[in-house]
Structure 1
Amino acid sequence: MTEQIRDRASRSLPTASVRHGRLKRHSAWKTLLAVLGGTMAVVLVSGVSVAAIAVNQLNENIDVVELVTAEGEERVIPTVGEWEGGFNVLLVGVDNAEGQSDGDDRGGAVLNDVNILVHVAEDQQSAVAVSIPRDMVVPIPSCPNPEGGSYFAMSAQPINVAMSYGGLSCVVLTVEALTGLDIPYAGVISFDGVARMSSAVGGVDVCVDGPIFDEFTGLDLPEAGTYSLEGRQALAFLRSRKGVGDGSDLGRISSQQVYLSSLIRKVQSEGVLTDVTKLYGIATVATSSMKLSSSLASVDTMVSMALVLKDIPTENITFVQYPGTTGGTGVYSGKVQPIEWQASALLEKIRNDESFALQEGETGIGSALNPNAPAPEPTTPAPTGSAAPTVPPLADEEPAEVLEGVKGQTAADYTCSVAN
């Protein structure tokens, strides 16, 4: 019989239109996974682009982790190249990673503090990235213990303790149970890796609506405006909780989406993915900074993903926050409580690859639309003599359903972080 192990952590708690599905293709960016989770997955495309130059060296850099089922068996996963449809990837940023530069100043278990589930639609014309709050209290299923046996299932724990129970496999199993989506691919990056990745892409421009000083992360942006962040400052921005919104994890997520949407636009507009020198540098940093599931640590898989993603336009890439609220009682005291009806509506749309729209301006408590955003570029030439460009509507397209209360933005939206 499988031995049940009780881990110590189990004792710690008692309308901007967003298009998904079958939409008209446009020329666009060449990577979604290259920007999510504080640039956690830049390797997925950059590694592909430089594979012909140094594929063996890059592969040697990759630290591989095996994903297992709840029974502890290795997952049988086909390569993406055999698929014609979509796929799901879980991107995880960890706290207290082994070898982290500030490890002596920190303590405790390794926690999965950033959890972003990327879903690419079956028709490969849209993608959704769902950020799950680290403090959200969820059921954690029984997870295999890497040293043998398994841990008890738990009905109510913060999701960020999953990593301390059964590693990346436990995080994947937990998110699968929460969302009802199969997740065959996953990657992990440490805080140090996030800092190095932001420098590898040449910095990311972020807008803030006022001065932000966060003594806990070291972020110091003295006035409102736009800053180019890289290295430890980029990491401080992505980690900042007390400095943005209402000081909660929910505010931090919407502030992170300011960074991620800007990063997508950067790699599109500045030719990052067509510059071999930049790509090689990014890929080298990425492959040496991440742990990838064996299903993902393959050039063939990365090539296939890049080919799927290269034509998805920014307006069809949506960042959303898993619906949740603070101020609860009992096991939710001081944590995030899921808003179940909102989450059900969102996940049903995602699972069925159905179009949905977000309420205009509902970017989240840590961000707001940038009043100085540039005018959107027309997708068709302006008629001769016209005062403004016109864009004809897509034929036979039904209005997307608005998901009430769901927070987020598209990669095409220009937003600013809201100072606390």
Structure 2
Amino acid sequence: MSGALDDANRSTVARHADLPTPSAFSTLFRLLGVALAAILVSSVAVAGFVAADVLNRVGEGAVTLEDDVEVAPPSLGAYPSDEAFNLLIVGTDECGEVSTKILGDRCAQSDQGALNDVTLLVHVSAAPRAVTVVSFPRDLGLEVPECEREDGSTASGMSKGRINEVFEHAGVSCVAKTVTDLSGLPVEFAAKISFDGVIAITDAIGGVDVCVAGEGIHDTLAGVDLPVGTHTVSGASALAFIRTRHGVGDGSDLARISNQQQYMSRLAKKILSAETLTDPSKVLRLMDTVADNIVPSESLSNALTLTQLALALKDVEFSDFVFVQYPNLTDPEDSDKVVPDYDAAAPLWAALIAGEPITLAGDVATHRSVELATPPPVDEPVETATEAPEARATLPPEISGQTLDQETCSVGVQAE
């Protein structure tokens, strides 16, 4: 790897002109964002310094973040318990040797720069630790600040640019700066991954069990034919599952996003499970794959830093891992695009900045695409002398999402 990977104009990229919706690979980025974060900040703690040679490779080609946020110095032990931190995951549509074989003519040397088809902000609160993962729609139109590129040149700001074009505009650092301006949260750490990296990490993880309800998923366009029940998907079958649009919910792209959330949560659970984290060979294989397939920020390029972040997360309960979609409204200038719903997002950012754990009030999904696998338990009041309940911020119903401890099933339909 080298810093040249951030020069999007010299990359082999996937063509988007004929694609009205995100490709299977770009949707997989969204799903693997949390998985990548989990690998970066969880598996390291298990492998420890036995994997120092692998961890040191993570720093190759590290990029500089323009907003030089102060972070705790690398040291033994967990990241300081009184400090929160934020990790930005940027998934780009650059093609490599493996993805070119799969995508064929969609990959070509082009003057078009690489897009950040997936942008995820992973927020980890100060102790008691909680994790919130915010996914930004790829077609979100928002203000983009003036940024400094890796080569030292200046990229002008834009009053309204699509978030998935910011990487092409000025690199990972500018994506981080844009997210900070939108959220008010500093981005201390960042990592970029491309198509081939996604494929490699998927292969290293193995299969994922997914649940299908409704009429079963039958979508000939996506190549999915799954009856009602639980199925293990991997490789091509996983790509087909997360790519299906007409086979779930109301057939909309927003329905597909919620369907993908089921896959994302189950994938993250598998990485965080004892099955994975107590198997040193599996952990090292995952770490080795990550080391060869990400470009980190300089702040994330130290083995001790990775270990600190890992130890900070080792005791987080699944109920305190929350996945949310950034709230948005239809763009009045283009009905195929969206713009920020600032009013709905304000309580989310306020809670994260204040270090308050959050409670979801919105639906687990949009457009009837997934449902809870089992109904939530009904708590019967018990009069006992207990401590006062922890104060939590309840998000508005406009924000949909789920916690890691919730099991969902995709509501399949018979696609025409």
- TM value normalised by structure 1: 0.78
> 1:269 deviation in Å?
4.2
Gap change, CA 1:244 and 1:83, over 3 Å in 2: same
Q: Secondary structure at the match of 2:352?
A: helix
Match of 1:228 in 2: 232
Shift of 1:142: 1.1
2:405 to 386, 403, 412: 412
Match of residue 401 from structure 1: 394
Q: Which sections of structure 1, spanning at least 5 residues, go unmatched?
A: 1-6, 8-34, 379-387
Sort the Cα spacing of 1:357 and 1:222 in 2 relative to 1 into closer, same or farther, 3 A.
same
Report the CA distance shift for 1:415/1:266 in structure 2 as closer, same or farther (over 3 A): same
1:362-393 deviation per Cα after TM superposition (whole angstroms, max 9, x unaligned): 433364233457x87x9xxxxxxxxx9x9979
Partner SS state of residue 182, structure 2:
helix
Distance in 2 separating the partners of 1:114 and 1:242: 21
Distance in 2 between the 1:193 and 1:309 partners?
24
What's 1:123 paired with?
A: 127
What is residue 355 of structure 1 aligned with on the other side? 357
Which residue type is aligned with residue 302 of structure 1? L
CA contact 1:43–1:282 (8 Å) conserved in 2: no
From 257, 276, 291, the equivalent of 1:287 is 291
Which of the numbers 318, 333, 336 marks the counterpart of 1:334? Answer: 336
Question: How far has the Cα of 1:48 moved from its partner?
Answer: 4.1
Q: Give the letter aligned to residue 95 of structure 1.
A: D
Distance of 2:312 and 2:220 partners within structure 1: 39
Return the offset for 1:231: 2.6
Cα distance per residue 1:313-332 (max 9 Å; x no partner): 00111000000134x321x4
> Which residue number corresponds to residue 275 of structure 1?
279
Q: Distance in 1 between matches of 2:312 and 2:244?
A: 33
Aligned to 1:114: 118
RMSD: 3.2
1:304 aligns with 2:308: yes
Is the 8 Å Cα contact of residues 213 and 219 (structure 1) preserved in structure 2?
yes
Contact preservation (8 Å) 2:121, 2:135: yes
Q: Is the 8 A contact 1:131 1:321 kept in 2?
A: yes
User: Any residues of structure 2 matched to 1:144-293 within 5 Å, and which?
Assistant: 144-209=148-213, 210-213=216-219, 215=221, 218-241=222-245, 243-246=247-250, 248-293=252-297
Match of 2:19 in 1: none
Aligned partner of 2:348 in structure 1 is 346
Q: Is the 8 A contact 2:131 2:322 kept in 1?
A: yes
What SS is found at the alignment partner of 1:403?
Answer: coil
The residue identity in structure 2 corresponding to 1:363 is A
How far does residue 128 in structure 1 lie from its aligned partner after superposition?
0.6
Match of 2:99 among 90, 98, 101: 101
Given residue 257 of structure 1, which amino acid in structure 2 is its aligned partner? Q
SS at match of 1:129: strand
Could you tell me how far apart the structure 1 residues matched to 2:384 and 2:409 are? 30
Instruction: Report the Cα offset of residue 166 of structure 1.
Output: 1.2
CA-CA distance at 1:46 after TM superposition: 2.4
In structure 2, give the amino acid aligned to 1:91.
I
Q: Judging changes above 3 Å, is the alpha-carbon distance between structure 1 residues 231 and 114 closer, same or farther for their aligned structure 2 residues? A: same
Question: In terms of mean alpha carbon deviation, does 115-124 or 228-237 score higher?
Answer: 228-237
What is the match of residue 73 of structure 2?
79
* TM-score of the aligned structures, taking structure 2 as reference length: 0.78
Q: Describe the superposition over 1:263-314 as per-residue Cα deviations: whole angstroms up to 9, x where unpaired.
A: 2332444421011111111111111121111211221111111111011100
Whose helix proportion is higher, 1 or 2? 2
Out of 64, 69, 72, the residue aligned to residue 67 of structure 1 is: 64
1:232-256 deviation digits (Å, cap 9, x = unpaired): 4334444555654455554343223
Write the letter of the residue equivalent to 2:94. N
Task: Give the conservation status (yes or no) of the 8 Å contact 2:130–2:357.
Answer: no
The reply on whether 1:89 has 2:87 as its aligned counterpart is: yes
Question: Hey, what's the Cα distance between the residues in 2 that align with 1:45 and 1:268?
Answer: 7
Deviates more, 1:151-160 or 1:222-231: 222-231
Shift of the alpha carbon at 1:396? 0.6
Alpha-carbon deviation of 1:127? 1.3
Q: Structure 1 CA distance, aligned partners of 2:40 and 2:373? A: 33
How far apart are the structure 1 equivalents of 2:70 and 2:228? 50
Query: How many residues in Structure 1 have an aligned counterpart in Structure 2?
Result: 370
In structure 2, what residue type is equivalent to 1:396? Answer: A
CA deviations over 1:89-120 (Å, ceiling 9, x no partner): 01121113455622652253211111111111
SS of 1:335's partner is: strand
Q: Is the 8 A contact 2:208 2:266 kept in 1?
A: yes
Query: Residue 324 of structure 1 is aligned with which of 317, 320, 328?
Result: 328
Matched position secondary structure for 1:311: coil
Cross-structure match for 2:145: 141
Task: State the SS of the aligned residue for 1:206.
Answer: strand
Alignment partner of 2:300: what SS? coil
Instruction: Using the aligned pairs only, state the percent identity.
Output: 34
Report the CA distance between 1:230 and its aligned residue. Answer: 2.1
| Residue 39 of structure 1, aligned match among 18, 35, 42 | 35
Is the partner of 2:299 in helix, strand or coil?
Answer: coil
Q: Is the 8 A contact 2:42 2:311 kept in 1?
A: no
Q: For 2:263 and 2:205, how far apart are their aligned partners in 1?
A: 13
